Chains A and B, each alone.
Chain A
Amino acid sequence: MNIVLNGETYKTDGPLTIGRLLSHLAIDRRRVAVEHNMNVVKQSNYDSTIVNSGDAIEVVNFVGGG
């Protein structure tokens, strides 16, 4: 299925949790924040939040800024 990950189309094998998606992307979950269809997902809900076909996911972290 396709999802929109950070603005780009991204293919997955099927529905999966945010937690699975992050480990698949080799992202340290303690260093990021995730938005699922415009709503922030709390870290404690990563393993219970399911990403379905067509969902929009944003994965952000801190970078240098003023």
Chain B
Amino acid sequence: MPDNLLTIADKSFSSRLIVGSGKYLTNDQMAQALEASGAEMVTVAVRRVNLSDRSAASLLDHIDTSRYFLLPNTAGCYSADEAVRAARLGREAGLSNWVKLEVIGDEKTLFPDNEALLEATRILVAEGFVVLPYTNDDPITCRKLEEAGAAAVMPLGAPIGSGLGIQNPNNIQIIKEASSVPVIVDAGVGTASDAAIAMELGVDGVLMNTGIAGANNPVDMAEAMKLSVKAGRLAYLAGRIPKKMYATASSPLDGVIGT
């Protein structure tokens, strides 16, 4: 079965792994990890320029934008208004109309505020944005986001940066089954097996940042994630065997010596 591309809106990507650019020790380390991840889409945050220290190198000096498609996020926004403003600024700075939409409802969990997320999605879709909302793993919210015009839905596997893995695989599967836009598991992946589990559920892609950037060796972890996303996708397409209570012999039952 040909399965090479992740297609969202009018763009296709050959990698199903989307990576963040935050939390790396150095820009060089980030660049190496991006390379090792094989990702083609990279999230970035929109923040005030540091006016008191203009010496810091620009992030964009370290991300080759002819190779990586930049996905500006609205991280840190706690209302629809703030998120919409950040999205508009991101569009102007990045010259693309794509946005990873986050509207956070709570500082401790960083869970999304679904109501505000829906409101911001509607506003940005009307303005011509390609909206990829980061959402709870709630099938109803995902359905509403799709109805509001989201180009994909991005349910969390677990809280941002928690590394807990896929906490509610049933919901992720229900979301995938019910969605006609791509489903990207965004947040919560702690190690390679978590990414593989997400992909084995049949989702279209995985987005992660801390799972790679926070590893002891981010470059090696980026490669591990690349392989696990591929492995998980392949296993999903191959079709796993059903789980059973008891053993089924792999070797023939006839012709065993001594019988």
* Residues in A lying within 8 Å of B, measured CB to CB: 5-8, 25-28, 31-35, 38, 40-43, 58-66
Contact = CB atoms under 8 A, between A and B. Distances in A.
Given A6-B48, A33-B93, A66 B59 contact: no
A38 B85 contact: yes
29 contacts: A6-B49, A26-B54, A32-B49, A32-B93, A33-B46, A33-B91, A33-B93, A35-B88, A40-B92, A41-B92, A59-B49, A60-B47, A61-B46, A61-B60, A62-B45, A62-B46, A62-B47, A62-B58, A62-B60, A63-B22, A63-B45, A64-B44, A64-B59, A65-B22, A66-B20, A66-B43, A66-B75, A66-B161, A66-B209
Interface in B65-94: 70, 72-73, 75, 85, 88-94
Contact of B89 (A5, A28, A40): A40
A35 B59 CA distance: 20
Contacts, number: 104
A35 B91 CA distance: 12
Give the interface residue-count category, chain B: 35 or more
Interface in B1-51: 20-24, 30, 43-49, 51
Which of A31, A58, A61, A66 has the most B CB atoms < 10 Å from its CB? Answer: A66
A40 B88 contact: yes
- The main secondary structure of chain B at its interface with chain A is mixed
B93 A60 contact: yes
A59 B48 contact: yes
A33 B22 CA distance: 20
B210 interface: yes
B227 interface: no
Nearest to B61: A31
Contact of A64 (B21, B51, B54): B21
B160 interface: yes
